[in-house]
Amino acid sequence: MTLEWEQVIVDASDPAALGRWWAAALEWVIVGDDPDEFEIRPSEGRLPGLLFVRVPEAKTLKNRLHLDFRPDDQEAEVARLLDLGAARADVGQGVQTWVVLEDPEGNEFCVLRSRAGARAPS
């Protein structure tokens, strides 16, 4: 038996707005724009994607699952995401090498140091 990772489902009060935000943040394409199920992918035929689905309840606690991203330049990427509408989040992480942000609906995600910055000194 073989499994293929199709997508991650993200609960949202406004799937289209949140999906468009993530499409801009990740520079992905929109492949489904139904107001109740909004899907984005890295490119038209590439998986996995993110599927934003409408739910009636608001997010109340820290996510049990979150996404980590490793940019070329952490500081520049954090600034870009904040400009798009992300916010800094405190989930009890203290001082770390990663930055915790939240999207416009409060879903946490992390921006890690660049690979070059993550390497141990020689």
Please classify residue 53 by burial: count the beta carbons closer than 10 Å to its beta carbon, then call 0-12 exposed, 13-18 middle and 19+ buried: middle
Peptide linkage before 48 cis (omega within 30 of 0): yes
Give me the domains of the chain, ranges plus CATH numbers.
Answer: 7-55 (3.10.180.10), 65-122 (3.10.180.10)
Six token digits for residue 100: 């915790």
Residues of the chain with pLDDT under 70: 117-122
11-22 pLDDT per residue, tens: 999 999 999 999
- Residues of the chain with pLDDT > 70, as a percent, come to 95
